[in-house]
Amino acid sequence: MTISSKLKAILLGSVFAVSISGPAQAAGLTDMLSALLSSHERIKAAEADLNAARSGLNTAQGGYFPTVSLTANVGNENIYTRNPQGTSTETSMAQRELDISVSQTLWDFGATAATVGSAGLSINQAEVALELTKQNLLLEALTAQLNLASAARVLSYQEESETSIKRQTELENARVRRGSGLATSVLQSKTQLAGVQAARVRANGALRQAVNRYRALFHEVPANFTTLEQPNVSDVAIPNDEETIVTKALENNPQVRATALLAEIANTAIDSSFASGYRPVISASAEQKYKRDVGGTEGLKTESLIKVELTFDFNMGLTAASTLQASKSGHAAANSRLKDARDQIEEQARNAWQNLQTSRDNAEFLSNQANIAAEFLALGRKEQALGQRSLMDILAGETSLINAQSAADRAMTDVAIAKLTVLNVIGQLDLSVLQ
């Protein structure tokens, strides 16, 4: 196997392969992500919203059931009565009363149905919001996993380069002391070393940031970055053209679906406002009252009443019209937000596809550059041994190789992230991509 093919295999394997342990480690990564998707605070918040929406539906459905009212009172009642004849009577008794009533709405012209429908749509919206939260969190987690591993590899490349250039600088120093080397070569070597050290510092800073992102999500840091499990997304199927991705995104993206449900909820608010403001309520009720020593009459008195009544409340300030208009305006606003969301998701879908294509092309060219740099360095070292190549050529070649390897590694990581982003924007990112 040639150096270039070996290098390409290493780079590809480092980004896309899970590890030589195969299913066992893949299962470990899946378990870790599954735990994240059940315990992260964002997930808990979305699940709490869903539970609240379900409770809201139960509350709304209460409008279909009768209401029981119970009132009991006890007190001292004094009644003074003056008769037309000039006489008067006065009573003072410890009165007691118990009132029980049952009322049931028979027809409210769709007001309760609209409220129940809105509550049901709120559950659907909360479910989609939970799905959106899970997909976004999964994308963040996989991106953090990929970036952390890539940052660790890039730092390793830079450290290897620094060690190699230090060694060659020391060798050149030894030649100068023996009188067989050039002082200018030592200075040039130190210049290369300073540049590599600066690159190593930047790589270390990038690794620290990747660690912080990983810790923020998983609340822990891997003990060994070199054995960090990587998601294998090389075989994950995605649409192979831009328009298909846009179509799937507009159909399946949770953000679009959630915004569409909000528009439906706003539409049911119009029905509810109209029924509540412009239609009466027909209800039936039954009342039973038990009175003892009430109204100046000694003894027990009972009253029973069963009735059907129509109630229509209309505020003379035309609040019904204002409420209805507010609902219509809210629906118009929700529709505008839906259109805007579709435009944004279409843009995200097209950008995700373009970014994937760019990342693939970029990774291919940078991998080729790394291959060429590796071939040049191998030939250069042979020529240096024959006295046909200077030390500075070798140092420059080694620096170019490390930079090319680092760039190729990051580019291949970008390909994996871009692929996951496409799955996210079309609403198909879940744990099955790891299987």
Distance of CA 95 to the CA centre of its chain: 63
C-alpha torsion sign, points 190, 191, 194, 195: negative
Does residue 3 register a pLDDT over 50?
A: no
Tens digit of each residue's pLDDT (9 = 90 or more) over 303-347: 899 999 999 888 788 888 888 899 999 999 999 999 999 999 999
427: Cα within 13 Å, side-chain hemisphere = 20
Nearest to 104, CA basis, from 112, 94, 93, 114: 112
Which phi and psi (to 5°) does residue 377 adopt?
-65, -40
Give 300's strand partners: 292
DSSP string, 175-228: HHHHTSS-HHHHHHHHHHHHHHHHHHHHHHHHHHHHHHHHHHHHSS--S-GGG-
Q: Is 277 helix (H, G, I), strand (E, B) or coil?
A: helix
Q: How far apart are the first and last CA of the chain?
A: 31
CA–CA gap between residue 322 and residue 386 (Å, rounded): 93
Structure token digits, residue 377: 């360095």
- Strand pairing report for 67-82 and 88-107: antiparallel
- Residue 174 is predicted with a pLDDT of 64
- Residue 184 is predicted with a pLDDT of 59
The answer to whether the beta carbons of residues 116 and 60 sit under 8 Å apart is yes
CA–CA gap between residue 217 and residue 246 (Å, rounded): 30
Most confident of 121-135, 224-238, 366-380: 121-135
What's the chain's average pLDDT?
Answer: 84
Q: What is the 3-state secondary structure (H, E, C) of 366-417?
A: HHHHHHHHHHHHHHHHHHHHCCCCCHHHHHHHHHHHHHHHHHHHHHHHHHHH
Q: What is the largest CA-CA distance in the chain?
A: 145
More confident residue, 168 or 178: 168
Tens digit of each residue's pLDDT (9 = 90 or more) over 193-229: 788 888 889 999 999 999 999 999 988 888 887 777 8
- As a CATH number, domain 3-66+108-278+319-434 is 1.20.1600.10
- Residue 24 is predicted with a pLDDT of 36
What pTM did the predictor assign? Answer: 0.80
The answer to whether the beta carbons of residues 214 and 197 sit under 8 Å apart is no
